[in-house]
Structure 1
Amino acid sequence: MKLSRCPVCKSNLHLDAMVSDEAARELLAFVVKLPQRLGQALVQYIGLFRPEKSDLSNSRALRLMQEAMALTSNETQLREALESTVASLFKKRGEHGWQPLTNHQYLKKVLDTMPTASTAVAPESKHKSLEIRGSHSLSKEQNEALFQEQMARFGGKHG
């Protein structure tokens, strides 16, 4: 079953040929299950492993994707690291002497430099933030007044 043409090389894409190959079938199933942006970032990243004058086998692409996904359980962090890696290395790909990636060491370094969820700092808000008052306790009236102030600021109503 001919689907359409490849936007890059203009050759025909045949779905029946892809699903008849076990590795291609597994590769498609793997990518389809991912959130869209993560899947796109992962596919672009795996492209950095492709040698200039040959194709990446479906089985190797699948293995590389599984290895990359196993690096962290934080999909958002992985997607950001993949996008950063692709952006950084894609620029270098056109330069003389470019060598395709052979392992995930670069991606691991990018992941290591990214803040984890526990150390990430929230972006500054244009609204005043609540002051955290360590061991000081608020009276019921003070707590209610702060709550009402916050609800008014966010347009909510409290009954």
Structure 2
Amino acid sequence: MLLMAVGPRLGAPSGLSLAFFVALGIGLHNFGEGLAIGAAFAAGSAGLGTYLMLGFALHNVTEGIGIAALILKVRPPLWTFVGLARLAGAPAVAGMWLGSLAVSAQWAALALAIGAGAILQVIVQVGAFLMRSSRVGPEALYLPSVMAGLVGGVVFRSATAALVKI
């Protein structure tokens, strides 16, 4: 909600500012993921914790590509990429640490709600950027490449969810 409130006041983000907001949203989302990993290990489920770590690491690679793609035309210095990667990734470490200390259901639900809201912010901002930057407007959300990514993500999520017993 904080990102949604601040974003419009700064205008329609693009380029580096959009990459910053996406990295911040992903960082908040990664905090919830880290919390889930830490809580899994704290609950004694090393298998689930390891599986979550590997799964999150795989999908975070695509998140990094999504951040970098927004600023390729700008060609910022290397330290900008390092800063954005740290902004998106470091909260996962803090989440793991806190998750390993606090295993109450209420704390986990709060952190996961923050993560879900943050990833919703990322989806809204990237979707708006896609519509603004394409020639077809809102129809850009229904392009075959976008639909293929959506279907591929759902299939991959469903396949990996079937492998873990919680």
Q: TM-score range by the shorter chain?
A: under 0.3
Which structure carries more helix by proportion? 2
Q: 1 or 2 for the larger relative contact order (CA 8 Å, sep ≥6)?
A: 2
Which structure carries more strand by proportion? 1
Tell me the TM-score normalized by structure 1: 0.28
Tell me the TM-score normalized by structure 2: 0.27
The higher radius of gyration belongs to 1
